[in-house]
């Protein structure tokens, strides 16, 4: 099998698995206990916290470990809504956020919070004018907060976070970013881009599932969503997921080294080669989203005249694992909200596939994937009939 | 080292660790993905859900996996407060709950929810008359909800859950129980004791840290705390902690078998032998809490004239790991709220130790622990002077 769905989840790195094991079998003590064995466990959490902090340019004390990235988003947004007064505040976000931001936004809206979802251009990048205008309106209406994702989970398109953060701050709004797809893949530095809150998920960068983190800028007011024993300096109670945290720390360390070494150049090269070959070989294909300002491993492709559902079955049979949109959307038949926001017509949206390359792909995967996709497209078109038009002009949207 | 702190956390069972490993190294796909490899991961979650359900007599669909037991408590209480109207509702609980219930209760109180904390008797059991009266008052004031722990985390004392649940229901109150210390150790069956919500934590019964579950009775209204991709049937979003869930399932299966086989008879025998030997050998010791209605492995001991802090250091040096109260309380100098509620004087409360036996203890551990405690007590008393009185009468409190 060739795994090309690394935006859905990533294979835990063998060094991550190796780092986890002793904390299941040997160092399993409660880190809050007083005896020496427990202090060794506590030290491992401290080391992991430092590694996650280093990956995003934060201080260790600014990292709050959580049960997943979705929890990190929820704890940030709930607190911000409470801080700002949920029923009077204003929440500015984008139309292309992950459901882990959109669903909490709907819940806040139901409680009376004004929610503004700013659009994106055809390349999938936030409409900064609309965003600035919404921030200004929120300021004039009494304040609020904003959240924009660092990179989109379907297209991989990087958002103008520095500009959005600056615009929000100029209007006195607190700023959160869902950086779950970005961290570990591209440079993310909270000193250079002074966001107030930032969400991370370990399993998106070769760490284990079941652990994430929320960056909370030092000095920022914060109250917890989960209360109890006071772990994570009172910001997220519950006995720490020690194996998960240690694994996340190791994954962060490996990603930091790789980013510093070559910025995932090999992953980017495979992805680019894949797109070139695919566009050249299979007519009626195009790449969606900004091709320059994008995660190194993500490729979002439309295949004219082929429904994604059929392609996915044929690709799976041929040993290629990829997806249509996000994993969370699998099985849902409505076209992706991200593509709708980009102005992609529903027909093309339903013919879109997402490929996600990672450090575990090999150059040979590229040819195999293009070959399999070519066969699948031919098979589906032979059943469904050829595309209505000739080859679609390939543009950088 | 001899580990006698199994109320703080437990050693993951080797079969649990073995069950987890393939889900880190091989079956790491996102269970929401569409390809066949992901469906195998989904099936493993389903199996684990069935095993956790079987341990407490529930249907698999009634199990919502969470990031920890504390999260399960928080999601139940937050929802119940919201359901009942947090600023007008009434929350009846006990004075001896874990901080994972007491801290959320304080947050609800700050939001205007009336909170009644019912006391316990000298044996550490809920005052049912006070509880019934509080439930009646809540009913008369417009309704509310109640939460009583199944077993106390410091003393191991089992609470009259069937009676409390019945009393709450008679007054029309929804009923939650924090069963984190009880599940896996004593029979817990939600068909026999019809609670509406019940919290579980894997690491308390030889599962991994970082995973828990909330039982939500079928047909009970419920809205999530963490919103997003719609995992757990929309009740707790976030990519599933697959290794953790699989490990929790295996631990549940092992505990179910052991409970059915002998109800942890070996653990109970070690604990009882430990208490007998200790009371006979070390003067000024006593067992706190109801000795009959108690978890099989827990022993809460007071040692007259010896501060727990000093004993813990000496015991750790002698290779015995135990605690004073809960792990979450470690390092905090105030006497335990549980002991205060039981009417234990502050001096004796500060001289209390908790020992937690598990299936991984061996009969030889008993003698070694008593020997080490005897030496530690002698050493401390030689420094601090002998206890003010002669041997304290040993009573079943």
pLDDT tens for each residue of B289-318:
999 999 999 999 999 999 999 999 999 999
- B30 and A36 in contact by Cβ < 8 A? no
Q: Is B313 exposed, middle or buried (0-12, 13-18, 19+ CB in 10 A)?
A: middle
Q: Judge whether A32 and B8 are in contact, CB under 8 Å.
A: yes
Q: Percent of chain A, pLDDT > 70?
A: 94
Out of B17, B34, B100, whose CB is closest to A331? B34
Task: Give the pLDDT confidence score for residue B332 in this predicted structure.
Answer: 56
Q: Is residue A325 left, alpha or beta, with left meaning phi > 0 and alpha meaning psi from -120 to 50?
A: left
Q: d(Cα A369, Cα B102) in Å, to the nearest integer?
A: 55
Task: Give the pLDDT confidence score for residue A11 in this predicted structure.
Answer: 98
Confidence of residue B334 (pLDDT cuts 50, 70, 90): confident
Confidence of residue B390 (pLDDT cuts 50, 70, 90): very low
- Domains with residue ranges and CATH for chain B: 14-259 (3.40.640.10), 264-384 (3.90.1150.10)
Out of B20, B209, B231, whose CB is closest to A241? B209
Q: Judge whether A38 and B11 are in contact, CB under 8 Å.
A: no
Nearest CA in chain B to A237: B70
Using alpha carbons, list the distances in angstroms from residue A223 to A77, B254, B358. Answer: 11, 38, 36
* pLDDT tens profile B215-247: 999 999 999 999 999 999 999 999 999 999 999
Of the listed ranges A12-26, B180-194, B312-326, the least confidently predicted one is B312-326
Give the gyration radius of chain A's Cα atoms.
22
Q: Within an 8 Å CB–CB cutoff, is residue A178 touching chain B?
A: no
Reduce the DSSP state of residue B47 to 3 states and report it: helix
Closest CA to A185 of A204, A165, A199: A204
Q: Judge whether A290 and A125 are in contact, CB under 8 Å.
A: yes
Q: d(Cα B159, Cα B157) in Å, to the nearest integer?
A: 6
Helix or strand holding residue B285 (H, E): strand B285-287
Q: Which of residues 204-243 of B touch A (CB under 8 A)?
A: 208-212, 225-231, 237-243
* pLDDT tens profile A261-320: 999 999 999 999 999 999 999 999 999 999 999 999 999 999 999 999 999 999 999 999
Average pLDDT estimate for B165-191: 98
Strand partners, A320: A2
Q: Within an 8 Å CB–CB cutoff, is residue B33 touching chain A?
A: yes
Q: Within an 8 Å CB–CB cutoff, is residue B100 touching chain A?
A: yes
* pLDDT tens profile A229-255: 999 999 999 999 999 999 999 999 999
Nearest CA in chain B to A106: B227
Q: Judge whether A203 and A213 are in contact, CB under 8 Å.
A: no
- A242 and B210 in contact by Cβ < 8 A? yes
- A243 and B66 in contact by Cβ < 8 A? no
* pLDDT tens profile A2-16: 999 999 999 999 999
* pLDDT tens profile A28-60: 999 999 999 999 999 999 999 999 999 999 999
Task: Give the pLDDT confidence score for residue B326 in this predicted structure.
Answer: 58
Average pLDDT of chain A to the nearest whole number = 94
Q: Is the pLDDT confidence value at A188 over 50? A: yes
Confidence of residue B396 (pLDDT cuts 50, 70, 90): very low
- Cβ neighbours of B257 (radius 10 Å): 10
Q: Where are the beta strands (DSSP E) in A17-119?
A: 63-66, 90-94, 114-118
Average pLDDT estimate for A115-124: 98
Nearest CA in chain A to B325: A33
Average pLDDT of chain B to the nearest whole number = 94
In chain A, which residues have their Cβ closer than 8 Å to the Cβ of B244? Answer: 209-210, 241, 244
Task: Give the pLDDT confidence score for residue B393 in this predicted structure.
Answer: 39
Confidence of residue A388 (pLDDT cuts 50, 70, 90): low
Strand partners, A214: A64, A199
Task: Give the pLDDT confidence score for residue B247 in this predicted structure.
Answer: 98
In chain A, which residues have their Cβ closer than 8 Å to the Cβ of B107? Answer: 227
Task: Give the pLDDT confidence score for residue B84 in this predicted structure.
Answer: 85
Q: Is the pLDDT confidence value at A394 over 50? A: no
- A33 and B228 in contact by Cβ < 8 A? no
* pLDDT tens profile A75-87: 999 999 999 886 7
CA A133, A134, A139, A142 torsion: positive or negative?
positive
In chain B, which residues have their Cβ closer than 8 Å to the Cβ of A25? Answer: 12, 14, 17
The size of chain B, in residues, is 397
Nearest CA in chain A to B68: A238
Using alpha carbons, list the distances in angstroms from residue B20 to A306, B112, B358. Answer: 39, 44, 21
Q: d(Cα B56, Cα B267) in Å, to the nearest integer?
A: 20
Q: CA triplet B317, B323, B326: central angle to 5 degrees?
A: 155
Largest CA distance in chain B: 72
Using alpha carbons, list the distances in angstroms from residue B335 to A19, A133, B312, B326, B338. Answer: 38, 55, 15, 11, 9
């Amino acid at each position: 099998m060739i795994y090309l769905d690394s935006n859905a989840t990533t294979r835990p790195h063998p060094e991550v698995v190796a780092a986890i094991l002793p904390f299941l079998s040997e160092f399993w003590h409660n880190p809050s206990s007083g005896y020496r064995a427990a202090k060794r466990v506590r030290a491992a959490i401290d080391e992991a916290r430092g590694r996650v902090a280093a990956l995003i340019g934060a201080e260790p004390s600014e990292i709050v470990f959580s049960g997943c990235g979705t929890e990190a988003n929820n704890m940030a947004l709930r607190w911000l809504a409470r801080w700002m007064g949920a029923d009077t505040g204003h929440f500015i976000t984008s139309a292309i956020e992950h459901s882990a931001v959109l669903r909490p936004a709907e819940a806040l809206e139901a409680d009376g919070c004004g929610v503004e979802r700013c659009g994106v251009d055809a390349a999938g990048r936030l409409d900064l004018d609309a965003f600035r205008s919404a921030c200004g309106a929120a300021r004039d209406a009494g304040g609020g907060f904003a959240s924009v994702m660092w990179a989109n989970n379907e297209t991989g398109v990087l958002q103008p976070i520095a500009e959005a953060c600056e615009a929000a701050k100029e209007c006195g709004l607190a700023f959160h970013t869902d950086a779950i797809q970005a961290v570990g893949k591209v440079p993310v530095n909270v000193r250079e881009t002074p966001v107030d809150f930032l969400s991370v998920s370990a399993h998106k960068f070769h760490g284990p599932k079941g652990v994430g983190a929320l960056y909370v800028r030092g000095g920022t007011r914060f109250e917890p969503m989960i209360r109890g024993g006071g772990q994570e300096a009172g910001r997220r109670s519950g006995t720490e997921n020690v194996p998960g945290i240690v694994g996340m720390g190791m994954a962060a360390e490996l990603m930091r080294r790789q980013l510093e070494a070559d910025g995932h150049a090999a992953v980017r090269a495979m992805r680019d080669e894949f797109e070139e070959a695919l566009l050249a070989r299979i007519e009626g294909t195009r790449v969606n989203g900004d091709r320059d300002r994008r995660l190194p491993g993500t490729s979002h492709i439309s295949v004219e005249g082929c429904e994604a559902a059929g392609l996915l079955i044929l690709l799976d049979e041929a040993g290629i694992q990829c997806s249509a949109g996000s994993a969370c959307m699998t099985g849902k038949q409505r076209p992706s909200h991200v593509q709708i926001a980009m102005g992609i017509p529903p027909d093309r949206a339903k013919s879109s596939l997402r490929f996600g390359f990672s450090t575990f792909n090999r150059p040979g995967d590229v040819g195999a994937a293009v070959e399999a996709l070519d066969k699948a497209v031919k098979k589906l078109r032979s059943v469904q009939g050829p595309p209505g038009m000739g080859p679609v002009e390939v543009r950088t949207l």
